[in-house]
Chains A and B, each alone.
Chain A
């Protein structure tokens, strides 16, 4: 040693790879692709087929760069070549330029260059890169290939094969990401084209993503086609609240009209993908059926009035109900479809009035106690070694969560252990799918978990339990007790609650879940509620027990509804106030994992609509309560300062973290107190299972013309062998009877339905399965008779 100074210990990252790109030293990670390392270093390499969320295929050859090799520089495809120690990469030499220009020339050999009439023009990677990396002219004089323009490959997506540059992005997405390989390259050579199987459309729930990632205008979506030019669109980042996944999106509008949503890559949430329901339901925002002005009942009809008179009528209805007895004669349902600020303002109002009959769910979810278990994030679930599903069909209810878990299974990170009464979208990706008869879930879960193979699997690493309401015709207690059974067997497990409404977690977290909606509606049916306030809630359509909801509504003297549409419930209101919709108001939302993100206002409200929080503040004012806020910013500040869970979700934190801030969840290690009884099934009956399909007759689908026709409609699903035993042919009418009533439905054979059970989708047009659900029962059994 010649010096006394100590050299700082060099930390050698075993995964670090040192290379130079265009003469600058770059540290990359082992296995990283050159194109990705260059991106991080600010060197843009042109590309068409490369997509960071999909495997590389080297299809377009546009990303050629020069890498120094033993025999001098050579061309490599930078999206297929990993970095290596000491590598010397050049992306801008004359050779590279020539190669890239040559590729553009080849790609354009068959491209029609109909940019002036192409939706993609202005935001087209081919157009842009033809300018930035193209030769400027072509030596090709041959005729280009011609195809019929465009062909529909699904109800939503159209394909112009002339524009296609065969990059394999759409087909790769369909296969790798969505798991719906319904489009594929067909034929060969000059005739290669993307096609569906004859008469089998690309009816994927995720088809819209292909339109977004197509690097040319070959794929277009019906709802946006020819509606705007990219340079006319203004964009703001926001969060989809159609379901509780909370995918990041941009709201894109022109002339004050929302025209398109695009997925934004949020690493913890959606990876850039959206489901088609979330992507295309903006159509409902401009529906003519939207409410524009306050309405007050005059006999049988609702008459337009001013906000001030409607609000004072509403206030007087509340006052007289309060005066009639005590706060227990007023109930508030809803709050899960708005912002955190909407929900918080309403929570403050019900606090001020002392109202306890408050619920954001409609008897179709789980008790809010589920939020007090040790919580998991979506990322935790997608990286857990075991994922236990005690949930409804995630593909139908929370589509992007389905994609994340499917990916976890396909990439062999996670093993999925599913408990279900009916096969789900994830069944084919599950390590083990265990069927149970509704009512027996707890016993089946407990015995499965005691199998040596299962406990060995669970001992391997982290366990995340995904729990939601798996069957609307079965008590939610079973899901909770099954969850407790898992927690007892594996106390280290964490829980991802999958309640589905956009901001249900926000609403419950601010205190809008105080009593079960079923109990509130039961009180109402018994004449114990004088005034019901609906904050974006439609219990008649959403409460599983349709008869109960109807009886309740018949017995409530005054109903105040705040809604975007006149729904089955809000149309019965005494006062009906038009609400500002998604995209028309600022605020924040909380997704199913408790992640708070920002929502943006992009367009002016419809008519005189007002956001829910404003209505709460105004009503409070008239009722003589000062909620201490006058703007959405005030409400947010109050939420952050008064609710410890929301403490981290400050304005600044949300502005600097576009991916949001996860709520500080108070984990109390709760377990439910009581175990529901196992339910015996009478031999002659079928046990009823009711779930959801992505497309139903809810307002935001029904009022979106492109989506409305995708709803399958009401039908009774039965195992083919049960169908045979019944002696009814596929599609025949059958009578389905419960204790109260019977309905007539068409029956279809479905192998994912267990024998001895029947399945029906909730909220479909046609016969309403809710007529057969009695919410006071643990499980519901029905008899099925052939009508022939």
Chain B
């Protein structure tokens, strides 16, 4: 619960190497930190700053722009119920009330067992499947109260461990880009030629 682990530092260095500027790796590294601890700790932000050559304040400034980064512990399962138009019309409000009762927490709260955090989200781009929710960013469509209860029961029982990993794990399959397969991005200051599309335009 702190700085990045040795294994994650190795991964971090691999990610950093993909970019012409180390700072560009800041967001992937924040995901790595969130995956490690379930949220982004202060120690991890300071560590990321060291790794990419930024101050802790710069890392925090960047990270806090994004709602998906959490700076305090959240439940193992983060449930986001969509509250935007289509879902609202299809009963998102009732679903939220039900969820609050079922979990025994108010919107934004975390259950005492540390398993669930309840949040509202803006449109999740699944409007045809309203009302919808995400649990650790995995979709559930046309959710009824009974579906919600079943979901909670399944998560508690560990029936969904394969499908829904703990909060912070965005993807289980880690991107592997061998150095020779990188795009070979050139630092902006070293770019000497116009981009291809401009060259093509000039040729016309």
A contact residues vs B (CB 8 Å cutoff): 175, 180-188, 195-200
Is B159 close to A, CB under 8 A?
no
Contact with A along B49-72 (1 / 0, CB 8 A): 000001111111100111100000
**Interface residue SS majority, chain B:** helix
Asked if B57 and A184 make an inter-chain contact with CB atoms under 8 angstroms apart, the answer reads yes
Asked if B64 and A181 make an inter-chain contact with CB atoms under 8 angstroms apart, the answer reads no
Shortest distance from the beta carbon of B111 to any chain A beta carbon, whole Å: 26
Q: Which B residues touch A199, using CB under 8 A? A: 42
Is B45 close to A, CB under 8 A?
yes
Asked if A186 and B42 make an inter-chain contact with CB atoms under 8 angstroms apart, the answer reads no
Of the candidates A181, A187, A188, A198, the one whose C-beta lies within 8 Å of that of B42 is A198
Shortest distance from the beta carbon of B112 to any chain A beta carbon, whole Å: 25
Instruction: Give the docked Cα–Cα distance between A184 and B57 (Å).
Output: 6
Asked if B55 and A181 make an inter-chain contact with CB atoms under 8 angstroms apart, the answer reads yes
Asked if A181 and B65 make an inter-chain contact with CB atoms under 8 angstroms apart, the answer reads no
- Contact residues of B between 115 and 144, Cβ < 8 Å to A: none
Asked if A200 and B61 make an inter-chain contact with CB atoms under 8 angstroms apart, the answer reads no
Asked if B42 and A196 make an inter-chain contact with CB atoms under 8 angstroms apart, the answer reads no
B contact residues vs A (CB 8 Å cutoff): 42, 45-46, 54-61, 64-67
Instruction: Give the docked Cα–Cα distance between A182 and B58 (Å).
Output: 7
Instruction: Give the docked Cα–Cα distance between A198 and B61 (Å).
Output: 11
Asked if A200 and B57 make an inter-chain contact with CB atoms under 8 angstroms apart, the answer reads yes
A182-B57 contact given A197-B45, A197-B46, A198-B42, CB 8 Å threshold: yes
Asked if B57 and A183 make an inter-chain contact with CB atoms under 8 angstroms apart, the answer reads yes
Residue of chain A at shortest CB distance from B42: A198
Q: How many A-B residue pairs have CB under 8 A?
A: 43
Q: Which A residues touch B61, using CB under 8 A? A: 184-186, 195
Asked if B54 and A197 make an inter-chain contact with CB atoms under 8 angstroms apart, the answer reads no
Residue of chain A at shortest CB distance from B66: A188
Q: Which A residues touch B55, using CB under 8 A? A: 180-182, 184, 197
A188, A197, A198: residue with the most chain B Cβ atoms closer than 10 Å: A197
List 13 other contacts, CB 8 Å, given A188-B64, A197-B45: A175-B58, A180-B55, A181-B55, A181-B58, A182-B55, A186-B65, A195-B57, A195-B61, A197-B55, A197-B56, A197-B57, A198-B42, A200-B56
Instruction: Give the docked Cα–Cα distance between A186 and B58 (Å).
Output: 9
Asked if B58 and A195 make an inter-chain contact with CB atoms under 8 angstroms apart, the answer reads no
Residue of chain A at shortest CB distance from B62: A184
Q: Which A residues touch B57, using CB under 8 A? A: 181-184, 195-197, 200
* 10 A-B pairs closest in CB distance: A184-B61, A197-B56, A186-B64, A197-B57, A184-B57, A181-B55, A188-B65, A187-B64, A197-B60, A182-B57
Instruction: Give the docked Cα–Cα distance between A198 and B63 (Å).
Output: 13
Q: Which B residues touch A180, using CB under 8 A? A: 55
Shortest distance from the beta carbon of A430 to any chain B beta carbon, whole Å: 15
Q: List 30 A-B pairs, Cβ < 8 Å.
A: A175-B58, A180-B55, A181-B54, A181-B55, A181-B57, A181-B58, A182-B55, A182-B57, A183-B57, A184-B58, A184-B60, A184-B61, A185-B61, A186-B60, A186-B61, A188-B64, A188-B67, A195-B57, A195-B60, A196-B57, A197-B45, A197-B46, A197-B55, A197-B56, A197-B57, A197-B59, A198-B42, A199-B42, A200-B56, A200-B57
Shortest distance from the beta carbon of B187 to any chain A beta carbon, whole Å: 14
Shortest distance from the beta carbon of A147 to any chain B beta carbon, whole Å: 15
Residue of chain B at shortest CB distance from A194: B61
Residue of chain B at shortest CB distance from A199: B42
Instruction: Give the docked Cα–Cα distance between A200 and B43 (Å).
Output: 12
Instruction: Give the docked Cα–Cα distance between A180 and B64 (Å).
Output: 20
Shortest distance from the beta carbon of A449 to any chain B beta carbon, whole Å: 28
Q: Which B residues touch A197, using CB under 8 A? A: 42, 45-46, 55-57, 59-60
Shortest distance from the beta carbon of A180 to any chain B beta carbon, whole Å: 8
Shortest distance from the beta carbon of B177 to any chain A beta carbon, whole Å: 30
Residue of chain B at shortest CB distance from A180: B55
Shortest distance from the beta carbon of B56 to any chain A beta carbon, whole Å: 4
Instruction: Give the docked Cα–Cα distance between A198 and B64 (Å).
Output: 12
Q: Which B residues touch A196, using CB under 8 A? A: 57
Residue of chain B at shortest CB distance from A175: B58
Shortest distance from the beta carbon of B55 to any chain A beta carbon, whole Å: 5
Residue of chain A at shortest CB distance from B67: A188
Asked if B65 and A187 make an inter-chain contact with CB atoms under 8 angstroms apart, the answer reads yes
Shortest distance from the beta carbon of B50 to any chain A beta carbon, whole Å: 12
Shortest distance from the beta carbon of B152 to any chain A beta carbon, whole Å: 30
Shortest distance from the beta carbon of B189 to any chain A beta carbon, whole Å: 9
Shortest distance from the beta carbon of B59 to any chain A beta carbon, whole Å: 8
Residue of chain B at shortest CB distance from A174: B57
Q: Which B residues touch A195, using CB under 8 A? A: 57, 60-61
Instruction: Give the docked Cα–Cα distance between A197 and B56 (Å).
Output: 6
Instruction: Give the docked Cα–Cα distance between A609 and B141 (Å).
Output: 84
Instruction: Give the docked Cα–Cα distance between A749 and B32 (Å).
Output: 30
Shortest distance from the beta carbon of B92 to any chain A beta carbon, whole Å: 22
Instruction: Give the docked Cα–Cα distance between A669 and B46 (Å).
Output: 50
Q: Which B residues touch A188, using CB under 8 A? A: 64-67
Instruction: Give the docked Cα–Cα distance between A492 and B64 (Å).
Output: 52
Residue of chain B at shortest CB distance from A171: B61
Q: Which A residues touch B46, using CB under 8 A? A: 197, 200
Instruction: Give the docked Cα–Cα distance between A60 and B60 (Å).
Output: 23
Shortest distance from the beta carbon of B22 to any chain A beta carbon, whole Å: 14
Instruction: Give the docked Cα–Cα distance between A198 and B54 (Å).
Output: 15
Q: Which B residues touch A175, using CB under 8 A? A: 58
Instruction: Give the docked Cα–Cα distance between A196 and B56 (Å).
Output: 9
Q: Which B residues touch A185, using CB under 8 A? A: 61
Residue of chain B at shortest CB distance from A183: B57
Q: Which A residues touch B42, using CB under 8 A? A: 197-199
Residue of chain A at shortest CB distance from B45: A197
Shortest distance from the beta carbon of A253 to any chain B beta carbon, whole Å: 35
Instruction: Give the docked Cα–Cα distance between A175 and B42 (Å).
Output: 21
